[in-house]
Amino acid sequence: MDRIYITTPLYYVNAEPHLGNTYTMVLSDTLARYYRAKGSETFYLTGTDEHGDKIAQAAASAGLEPKAFTDKISATFRAVWDECGFSYDHFIRTTDDYHISYVQKVLGRVYQSGDIYFDRYSGLYCFGCERFYTDKELVNGKCPDHLTEPKMIEEENYFFRMSKYQDQLLRHIETHPQFIRPEGYKNEVLAMLREPVEDLCISRPKSRLTWGIELPFDKRYVTYVWFDALINYVSALKRRGESDFQKFWPEAQHFIGKDIVKPHGVFWPTMLLAAGLPLYRHLNVHGYWTVEGKKMSKSLGNTVSPLEMKHTIGMDAFRYFVLRESVFGQDADFRRESLIGRYNADLANNLGNLVSRILAMQGKYFAGVVQPLSKQWVDEDNELKNIYEKAESEIGRHLTELQFHRALEVLWAALDHTNRYIVQTSPFTLIKDPANHARVGEILHHLLQAICHLARLLKPFMPDTAKELQSLLAFDDGDPALEASWGNSFAAGHKVNSPKVLFPRIEAPGNQ
Ligand code: MSP
């Protein structure tokens, strides 16, 4: 059986859900829904990353103990994702007991095999990033992310022999060109691996940080956040049992943003190799969103919240916008003007009006009752059918290549074609002559079939709208008619519902 395992990064609980991490959710949720609908056995994982300095500091400034603080923010993430309707199968927290004990198991195993060693180290440490920097990585002596000067610290720590696995990983990527995609990010990782890779400091002394997972072989230390968090992708499966691990792990696809390519493209695979575990199948890297051309930040006050989107234009319209407006892997800019423009043009005028128009004619001419189809279809009818059938396979191809925007383009081309079919066949003119009633009934039957196919194809991208379309066609969720081939969805006497406004037009603020 076909299987897929889809993961998102675990979100840090020092911020709340925003456009950036919601985008990762929309992409992964769309793919999970697509595979589920296709009948593939699907496991979709998300969760929160809760250990480390940054979180301990955020808890302190909120006046809470780290655990109380992470309980609160993790619950917020979960509640927001639920309100957005994301269909994850499991929500993992790095503070969950099963995760902690699995991380300790991996640490113990890698230590036993000699790939973790103890050493004295002095180096430049950025507290914001919770890691040491080499001179080469600094920009004008400062951390490129925090723009602060790192502190020289000298400590005894544990190191992971990452360098030992460098060549093996390099060969794997060279022989599996789709391991990291799109290609630009693969090249980025290859470039990192063609330079000497340093061993990774994977411990933090408890004298400096207590909020972490204790090293099983030395109680004076906790482990580095990444050595903890990355393991979630495996611990979540191990929790379900060995057979689920065997089933899903070979089909793992990680979705991440471009800022965390190094931990996922270098640390994680070398950790897997050291732990004797197989590598994941794909690392899918998406670009960054700016807002009105600017970096999104709390201090600029320009963060876009998913719930604000849900309450203003609706979750499906938001999903449509981010999927249609961005090219997977590339950066994109969120502009409210484009959001409203696309909403009005693609959703209100195109999709919404088309469906209303068809249902209005069906109601007016036949009191909503679907008319029979004769065996003789004219060219236009066949063409309409072919467009939707072809769309189905094209969408599948685009989605496996993560071309979400292309998949939606295909769907909207089918909508445009449907509008043209109405113009060509002109049911509103034919109806004036009673001799044409049977043909008008057939034209509308084809058009209702188009809505039915549309509902099926839209499902992964706009699940609520797909449901609305199904109920306008008077089908219950899961009705086999929804999956039937062209011309076979409507039984004799089936009555569809009256139209309703799916996407009320939004007037741009200036035009009100
Ligand atoms: N906790 C780590 C991941 C550990 S995975 C084992 C982390 N968390 S994060 O909360 O900072 O980021 C989560 C995701 O949100 C990342 O994929 C990141 O790229 C994404 N985004 C955060 N801001 C973003 C934008 N402005 N645009 C697009 N995605 C961005 O990193």
| Ligand 1 near 10 CB (within 6 A) | yes
Using an 8 Å Cβ cutoff, are 414 and 385 in contact? no
Question: Any idea of the CA torsion for 243, 244, 250, 256, to the nearest 10 degrees?
Answer: -160
The predicted structure's pLDDT at residue 455? 97
Cα 16 to ligand 1 centroid, rounded to whole Å: 11
Residue nearest atom 21 of ligand 1, based on CA coordinates: 20
Residue nearest atom 6 of ligand 1, based on CA coordinates: 230
Which atom of ligand 1 is closest in space to residue 256's alpha carbon? 17
The predicted structure's pLDDT at residue 483? 95
Residue nearest atom 25 of ligand 1, based on CA coordinates: 20
Cα 85 to ligand 1 centroid, rounded to whole Å: 20
In 10 A of CB 297, how many CB atoms? 11
| Ligand 1 near 259 CB (within 6 A) | yes
Residue 49: alpha-carbon gap to chain centroid: 17
The pTM of this model reads: 0.95
Phi and psi at residue 402, to the nearest 5°: 65, 25
Q: Burial level of 278, CB count in 10 A (0-12/13-18/19+)?
A: exposed
Using an 8 Å Cβ cutoff, are 370 and 448 in contact? yes
Q: For ligand 1, pick from 14, 24, 225, 326 the residue to mutate: most ligand atoms within 8 Å of CB.
A: 24
Cα–Cα distance measured from residue 267 to residue 265, given in angstroms and rounded to the nearest whole number? 6
Cα–Cα distance measured from residue 289 to residue 415, given in angstroms and rounded to the nearest whole number? 28
| Ligand 1 near 11 CB (within 6 A) | yes
- As a whole number, the mean pLDDT across the chain is 96
Tokens describing residue 343? 């909403």
Bridge partners of 252?
A: 5
End-to-end CA distance of the chain: 54
Q: For ligand 1, pick from 26, 254, 259, 322 the residue to mutate: most ligand atoms within 8 Å of CB.
A: 259
| Ligand 1 near 235 CB (within 6 A) | no
Tokens describing residue 307? 């719930």
Q: Mark the ranges of the chain whose per-residue pLDDT is less than 70.
A: 1, 508-512
The predicted structure's pLDDT at residue 512? 42
Cα–Cα distance measured from residue 78 to residue 306, given in angstroms and rounded to the nearest whole number? 13
The predicted structure's pLDDT at residue 433? 97
Cα 23 to ligand 1 centroid, rounded to whole Å: 10
The predicted structure's pLDDT at residue 376? 87
Which atom of ligand 1 is closest in space to residue 9's alpha carbon? 5
Phi and psi at residue 245, to the nearest 5°: -65, -50
The predicted structure's pLDDT at residue 1? 63
| Ligand 1 near 145 CB (within 6 A) | no
